[in-house]
Amino acid sequence: MKVTKAQAQANRAHIVETASELFRERGYDGVGIADLMAAAGFTHGGFYKHFGSKADLMAEAAACGISQTVAMTEGSGPGEFLQQYLSRQHRDAPGQGCTMAALCSDAARQPESVKEVFATGLERLLAALSPDVTGNEAMSREARARNISVIAHAVGALVLSRACPDDSPLADEILETCRLAIQSYSSARPER
* pTM, two decimal places: 0.87
Looking at domain 5-187, its CATH architecture is Orthogonal Bundle (1.10)
Give the C-alpha separation, 2 to 9, whole Å: 13
By three-state DSSP, how is residue 25 classified? helix
Instruction: With beta carbons less than 8 A apart as the criterion, state whether 159 and 101 touch.
Output: yes
The string of pLDDT tens digits covering residues 136-170 is: 676 688 888 888 998 999 999 999 999 999 889 99
Domain boundaries, the chain: 5-187
**Helices within 41-136 (DSSP H only):** 47-50, 54-73, 78-85, 88-91, 99-107, 112-129
Please report, for the chain, how many H helices and E strands are present, in that order: 10, 0
- Average pLDDT over every residue of 69-91: 86
The string of pLDDT tens digits covering residues 83-103 is: 999 999 999 999 999 999 999
At residue 139, the pLDDT reads 66
